Every structure is written in structure tokens, then in C-alpha cells.
Amino acid sequence: MMKTVMATGVFDIIHLGHIFFLKESKKLGDVLVVVVARDSTARKNGKTPVMDETTRVAIVNELKPVDRAVLGHEGDIFRIVQEIKPDIITLGYDQNFDADAIRRGAMNVGVHTEVVRLPMYNSEIKFSSTEIKRKISGSGGGSN
């Protein structure tokens, strides 16, 4: 039986941390479906995407480990879980979600899923879209 893995994120400025997260997610199953956060959801969670949601989902769809990228729904995060019915949901090390709450929420919509928190990309450089934006705007210090 095919195993579906679902990964989520804003994926604003793609960096090696994102690629690592998606590759590790893909290793856990046969099909990787990536849910890209809506602009409104990203803003609600304190993120200000540089690229709009349509562009971000198109870019994620082009990444090698990704079988399919879709936009999330506004409001109820479990609606997309109900549609995809993933066997596994992966969380990034820095995503502020409670794995047990995700598992329970999925169960409440009839989806029995495993929730796996993946480790940080092993590098001396901490990859963060927010940090990249700071450096580009000149407010991040340093001259890299």
C-alpha cells in the first residue's frame, strides 16, 4: 500500500533547510504532498511572504522530492488533512505545532496519521527565510 506523507510550510524563499525537510519527508513514504500556506495564514502567523501564494506553490511543485504541492485552506487547518488523508504528517524542527494536538485534530476528522518532527538541517549555518530577508534588506548586519 502506498504511503502518503504531508509536509507544510510557507516556503517563501527556498533554502537548503527547506530542501532537507522535503527530502527527509519524502524518505518516510511513497508520495509527498506539500501544503503551502496561504498568504493570509502566513500573515496571521507573523510571516510576511515576499512571493505570493500562487508563485510559492508553483515553485514548490518544481522541487525534486515533491510529488504534488497544493495551497492550504484558510481557517480550518484540518480540512486539507481530511482531503489528503496522509499516513504521516511531518513537522519541521522550528514549526510551532504540538504533534499530539495535530494527531488528535486529524483523528477528529477521521484521519489516523503518524506525526513526525524532523531534525534541523545539520550545518553551521542556520537557514531561515526571515534571516535571508533581513540580510537582503540590509538590516541583518554583516556583509555576506
Using pLDDT thresholds of 50, 70 and 90, give the confidence band for residue 120.
confident
Choice between 63 and 16, residue whose per-residue pLDDT is larger? 63
Q: Check whether 43 has a pLDDT greater than 80.
A: yes
> Do the domain assignments include residue 63?
yes
> Do the domain assignments include residue 67?
yes
> Do the domain assignments include residue 61?
yes
Q: How many domains does the chain have?
A: 1
Each residue's pLDDT tens digit, 55-89: 999 999 999 999 999 999 998 889 999 999 999 99
> Do the domain assignments include residue 144?
no
CATH number for 22: 3.40.50.620
Enter the DSSP assignment of 8. E
> Do the domain assignments include residue 125?
yes
> Do the domain assignments include residue 142?
no
Using pLDDT thresholds of 50, 70 and 90, give the confidence band for residue 144.
very low
For the chain, the average pLDDT equals 90
Residue 31: domain span: 4-137
- Compute CA distances 128 → 7, 16, 95, 101, whole Å: 17, 9, 12, 25
* Residue 141 region by backbone torsions, left for phi larger than 0, else alpha for psi between -120 and 50, else beta: left
Contacts of 126 (CB under 8 A, 6+ apart): 17, 120
Mean pLDDT over 129-144 rounds to: 62
Q: What is the pTM of this model?
A: 0.87
- Residue 94, SS3 per DSSP: coil
> Do the domain assignments include residue 143?
no
Q: How many residues does the chain have?
A: 144
